[in-house]
Amino acid sequence: DAGVIQSPRHEVTEMGQEVTLRCKPISGHDYLFWYRQTMMRGLELLIYFNNNVPIDDSGMPEDRFSAKMPNASFSTLKIQPSEPRDSAVYFCASSWDRTYNEQFFGPGTRLTVL
Amino acid sequence: GQQVMQIPQYQHVQEGEDFTTYCNSSTTLSNIQWYKQRPGGHPVFLIQLVKSGEVKKQKRLTFQFGEAKKNSSLHITATQTTDVGTYFCAGNTGGFKTIFGAGTRLFVKA
């Protein structure tokens, strides 16, 4: 199994530009999570999906952030417009076992907004 | 809202010394997980504890879940340079919403 796949691995953009991060969960996993990691705030859960449906998006910082999961094998996290304070590593993770909450993390996307 | 506090923030040890990180939740947890993140890497699941007072071991690592299910610890015996990284606890009060602690970064000097 290839594990959770994220793209791009690195993204450098200018303030005001739209950024789209992509994630492919492990096949068969029906939970998908988006996290943001910074030195100041640590690892924050932004949103998670179950069977492609958003369950909890209370961690999404503001309206500039949106996430979609059009099918079981693909999810996007979009920031529009991006700001320098959005610079962080964004992780996608997936899980499948309802009684054992092990989450499998992707390699992350390092986003830098200039 | 729910908070998960983790201490210490950093720990420097000499190879062969023991290491412990502690995790405390403001609310009772249904379970707690531990993850390890190597520098430049991504979090990797280590273990999940569910039962009150549970103790689990993985080789040199010992994990404990408190009787009140509000605190947990990870103890590493005789650290090795391969133990370097950040150790996170992650609490869950039900469902799949997981709150991560700030992590304890472990430095091991050979």
Of the candidates B48, B99, B103, the beta carbon closest to that of A100 is on B48
The string of pLDDT tens digits covering residues B41-52 is 999 999 999 999
- Residues of A within 8 A of B58 (CB-CB) are none
> Which parts of A53-108 are beta strand (E)?
53-56, 65-71, 74-79, 88-95, 104-105
Q: What percent of chain A has pLDDT over 70?
A: 96
* Numbered residues of chain B with Cβ closer than 8 Å to any chain A Cβ: 31, 33, 41-45, 48, 88, 92, 95-103
Each residue's pLDDT, cut to its tens digit, for chain A (114 residues) gives 689 999 999 999 999 999 999 999 999 999 999 999 999 889 999 999 999 999 999 999 889 999 999 999 999 999 999 999 999 999 999 998 666 678 999 999 999 999
Residue B106 and residue B96 in contact, taking contact as beta carbons nearer than 8 Å: no
